[in-house]
Amino acid sequence: MKNRMIARIVNILHLPLVLALLLLYAPSCQKDEPLNNPPVADFSVLEDLDEFFLFDESYDPDGDPLSLWWNVASDQILLSGHQQPEVYFRIPLLQEPLDVILTLVADDGLATHETRKTITLPVLNEERIFGLGMECTAQNSNEAGYEWYVDQANSGTFSNINCGPASAVMAAKWAIPGFTGTTREARDMILPGGGWWYTNNIIDYLNHFSVTNFTLALGSMEVLRQQIDQGNIAILCLDMYYIRNQEKNRWHVDRFYNAGNTGWGHFIIVKGYKIVDGQLFFEAYDPYGFAQTYPDGAPKGKNRYYREAELNDSSNIWWDYAIIISRDPDKMGKGLDPVKIPHQAGR
């Protein structure tokens, strides 16, 4: 009896040790948590004419979804967003180039990673602002030194088709300082009952006010450029369907109104040109403005730029001639006889 009690006491004393050994060597019922690999933040930068685009290229080694946060260390820059995979910002108007730091933070919910890149913002020139390109290598513009742009809007019953009268009035204003004729008066003089003006109507109007003019065949747009270099301007009659639509509302290039069908005849004034990044653009006064303006309030039809190739195509298709206007009667060129050439109309 005594021996049994001693054995029981010994067993009780050893119980904690046994339990400890069992816990130590027993296989664990819990799985080890996998280690989290942090994300890698990265991005690329694309410089456009007047803005920068930022493209997220971050990744997570574990394939976890990432949240993003973009930031720019400059109070002159307004990002289009902070959490999208693609953001952009407009280049501010600067007096000198500006270095800015771009930051992207990638977050997988457990860890974050940040990357930074420094870029240099350029000083915007007119070509960038207008959407033409980076660098101008040649240009000419025959301005008048006073206001002579005419919008065909609000010119009477036939405003929608008064591009011919409006272009003729602009040409007269350019050639004759102080000319006071209006689009409405021009319409009352020629085809007062309505209808598209024809190219011979333009010539008749200019001759009536003794505006020096002559007509040339447009074998190529080089003819037009040569006339501009001689100090002249031109009236073209085009099918505007073949001029591409504008890419960005703030830019000064390409067609800014709808011309949804072929046969969209239209008159414009061409008064200058620019060669930008090797491409020739012609500077125009387009009367089909109808009060459309740029963000700064300037009329959209004023100092509009159209591409050489598209002007060439649209004139070849519609009317492959140009009415040249000069301020100097002595610069009267050897033009074609208007009676012996076909004529075309514009709206």
Per the prediction, the chain carries an average pLDDT of: 93
Q: What is the mean pLDDT of residues 293-311?
A: 97
In-domain check, residue 24: no
Per-residue pLDDT band at 239 (split at 50, 70, 90): very high
Q: What is the mean pLDDT of residues 216-226?
A: 96
Instruction: Say whether pLDDT at 29 is over 60.
Output: no
Dump pLDDT digits (tens) for 113-143: 999 999 999 999 999 999 999 999 999 999 9
Instruction: Say whether pLDDT at 271 is over 60.
Output: yes
pLDDT score for 201: 99
Instruction: Say whether pLDDT at 26 is over 70.
Output: no
Task: Tell me the whole-structure pTM to 2 decimals.
Answer: 0.86
| 22 vs 69, residue with greater confidence | 69
Instruction: Kindly list the distances between the CA atom of residue 135 and the CA atoms of 38, 94, 123, 250, 277, in Å, as whole numbers in the listed order.
Output: 44, 17, 12, 19, 6
Residue 141 burial (CB count, 10 A)? 12
Query: Would you list the DSSP string of 218-243?
Result: -SSHHHHHHHHHTT-EEEEEEEGGGS
Verify that 181 and 267 share a domain, yes or no: yes
pLDDT score for 330: 82
pLDDT score for 5: 45
Verify that 144 and 174 share a domain, yes or no: yes
Verify that 266 and 205 share a domain, yes or no: yes
Instruction: Say whether pLDDT at 329 is over 70.
Output: yes
In-domain check, residue 314: yes
Which of 12-21, 71-80, 109-118, 233-242 shows the lowest per-residue confidence on average (mean pLDDT)?
A: 12-21
CATH number of the domain bearing residue 54: 2.60.40.10
pLDDT score for 137: 99
Per-residue pLDDT band at 6 (split at 50, 70, 90): very low
Which of 19-23, 25-29, 181-185, 248-252 shows the lowest per-residue confidence on average (mean pLDDT)?
A: 19-23
Dump pLDDT digits (tens) for 98-119: 999 999 999 999 999 999 999 9
The closest alpha carbon to 86, from 58, 118, 61, 110, belongs to: 58
Looking at 107, 124, 141, the residue that finishes a domain is 124
Residue 77 burial (CB count, 10 A)? 17
pLDDT score for 313: 98
pLDDT score for 231: 97
Q: What is the mean pLDDT of residues 73-82?
A: 96
Verify that 178 and 298 share a domain, yes or no: yes
The closest alpha carbon to 256, from 244, 238, 242, belongs to: 244
CATH number of the domain bearing residue 211: 3.90.70.10
In-domain check, residue 235: yes
Verify that 74 and 142 share a domain, yes or no: no
Verify that 334 and 286 share a domain, yes or no: yes
Instruction: Say whether pLDDT at 14 is over 70.
Output: no
For 203, the token pair is 């010539």
Verify that 214 and 289 share a domain, yes or no: yes
Structural domains of the chain, count: 2
Verify that 51 and 139 share a domain, yes or no: no
Verify that 95 and 141 share a domain, yes or no: no
- Domain range for residue 275? 132-346
Q: What is the mean pLDDT of residues 4-19?
A: 47
Verify that 87 and 187 share a domain, yes or no: no
**Left, alpha or beta for 227 (phi > 0: left; psi -120 to 50: alpha)?**
alpha
Residue with the two structure tokens 């089909």 = 288
Verify that 119 and 152 share a domain, yes or no: no
- What's the gap between Cα 149 and its chain centre? 23
In-domain check, residue 28: no
Looking at 74, 95, 124, the residue that finishes a domain is 124
Verify that 116 and 147 share a domain, yes or no: no
Residue with the two structure tokens 């001689």 = 230
